Structure 1
């Protein structure tokens, strides 16, 4: 068994460039590749005599895989061999292959069996560049992506044409009227369509600063999105007989509820079990961020308390909340609560290390101790592990007179 280059090695070498998209990319950019010389690893002069039969078999196997010379039978496509004459004192002059040459793109594609795929790519690329010349550079960068979606390009181009004709249409994606295209098609191709629309649309039609990625597709390109709902509970008196409500963000912003305090928690069980508190409501964070809450300007005039996990990310979320509501206070995110629940500590999977500028002095001290592992390795106390009596005591400490007797 030797490490000399075989015909299979040559195919793998060329296939590697195909799988990187290089062969198709160069066919579009016009960058010179052919004739393409691939050096061969073969026997040294010293091995010619010791392994002469093995060398002859190696040369024969390589020659069998090469394309036929003009006028001879065999394949007319593939590689040709470059030989070097070696003068051996015992064996005399011998021709040993030192390189394989692929003279044309057709030779390279024939070697790896990709002629049909390449023809399909060039057909699709021609259609795309004819419809949207500004995508030519993208085609050269993402040729395999083009082939992956080969059957879907008629629909994709239809969607691009529609959006280009109706920039920032303020309709739901369901209302795009392209033959053969349905809303699930667009949902499935959001990421790809985002790549293409960023190149096709004028800058004025893209809200680049406010949204990115597949999740922000609607806002980025001016479509109406399914409204986010804010879920909240009134903690002392029902609202028209209701205590647990979910309303669209825009409607929540217009409510201006008659509550003096607003509690925010990320845990649904804590949200549901939150004790009765007069003149207050609790909001279930549910991971949607604080941008929707920021639309409710009336919250600026309310006391806001945030209850999150005691770990690095919990303090990072608190810091984010204060970018919208600087007056927000933390609840049950203090050193005493953490130390009192030591047996219930967990381990934070990926702690954040970034600096947080909006924490108060005591919060910042605890955050630094957590992120630098001064209390223990990646310490975390999840909010749902805090004892209920401890929660009630903390709430009573906010307003002992008005909370006395509530449970």
Structure 2
């Protein structure tokens, strides 16, 4: 026999379809809860207790809730007994009071009327996701304002907080998840669907990450940057950089970036601070495809994973000072950070062998632990 807990659980599962009928403006139809018409327990006392429990939450007992139809059924152990064969809600009030959803549904109906009046194109989305109306029940006035603005201005080219919408300054930032769903529907022709970042997806300005680099050629420093040699610019500007460069050295750590200024003179060369996995900021700098690229990272699992990532963007990348000879010469048995990824797709045979060794043993030799004299000697030969 079905229990009161099972009746409630099944009733809650009917709630979404009930909300959908409200959006479609359909009349209420009896909601039926399926039950078990058999009874196999042998204790009459237990049977009577279960019947009382079911009746305690019924409409007959409380004036609202589910109604019960009984039928005489012959049981295996208790003979013929009256068992509930039909469980149903006859009215909307019975159903909502039982679930304690009256107030929630009242707000839901107010919101869907408001949304459909202002943005009728969202009606099918509401039918599909009525729970999202409830999850954002106190935000719909402002969500509608944002949607209406984008309908009129699908390509704003403004920063989020510049948008002339009368909502809290942080409202859009704090509600990007639901707004993404809505805007994807109502301005679909103007959405950059391949972009995940909210600002890029919806044609907004955004604060770009910066690329920091050092000019290692004094002539380039004087001619293009008035003698400055330590520079940081937005990614977009870096992507369009036009300098007489033949070589780029990418270093993983900031400390090593400072070291590059003490290296032997390197003509037509700059050093870029890769900043670990932020190396992906460089992937759209197409001009890097046509020059010599050197990558110098820590000799640990992550260092080779970042190298592999960078080489996936620019396959001519050559690793430097990340070889077995350098590792054996200066390794001090420092522990690394455990890696759970597999990223050797763009490593050559020697790099892959060292990567496997480092990953297996969780070893690390940081860039800054390689003596400067050794580094200088390497770059002397490089030029």
TM-score, normalising length from structure 1? 0.76
- Count of residues in correspondence between the two structures: 372
Comparing 122-131 and 85-94, the one that deviates more: 85-94
Is the Cα contact below 8 Å between 2:253 and 2:367 reproduced in 1? no
Deviation of 1:187 after TM superposition, in Å, equals: 0.9
Q: Is the aligned partner of 1:178 residue 2:160?
A: no
Alignment partner, residue 295 of structure 1: 285
Determine whether 1:152 maps to 2:144: no
Which secondary structure state, in structure 2, belongs to the residue aligned with residue 63 of structure 1?
Answer: helix
Note closer, same or farther for the CA distance 1:64–1:255 as it changes in structure 2 (3 Å cut). closer
CA offsets, 1:241-269, max 9 Å, x none? 54432222344345545655322233333
After superposition, where does 1:325-344 map in structure 2 within 5 Å? 325-338=314-327, 341=331, 343-344=333-334
Deviations 1:281-302 (A, max 9, x none): 32222344445463362x4454
2:370 — aligned with what? 388
- Of residues 199, 202, 207, the one that matches 2:192 is 207
Q: Distance in 1 between matches of 2:153 and 2:298?
A: 45
Give how far 1:235 is off. 4.6
Structure 1 unmatched ranges of 5 or more? 69-73, 403-407
Tell me what 1:195 maps to: 181
Q: Answer yes or no: is the 8 Å Cα contact 1:41–1:98 preserved in 2.
A: yes
Q: Could you say what secondary structure the match of 1:262 adopts?
A: strand
For 1:217 and 1:271, locate their aligned partners in 2 and report how far apart those are by CA, in whole Å. 32
- 1:127 lines up with 2:117 in the alignment: no
Q: Is the 8 A contact 1:307 1:383 kept in 2?
A: no
Whether contact under 8 Å (1:310, 1:333) holds in the other structure is yes
Displacement of 1:226: 1.6
1:54 has 2:42 as partner: no
Residue 282 (structure 1) aligned to one of 271, 277, 302: 271
Paired position in structure 1 for 2:211: 230
Report the secondary structure of 1:60's partner residue. helix
Give the one of 297, 315, 322 matched to 1:308.
297
**1:66 positional shift:** 0.6
TM-score of the two chains, using structure 2 as the length reference: 0.81
Match of 1:35 among 31, 34, 45: 31
Runs of 5+ consecutive residues of structure 2 not aligned to the other structure: none
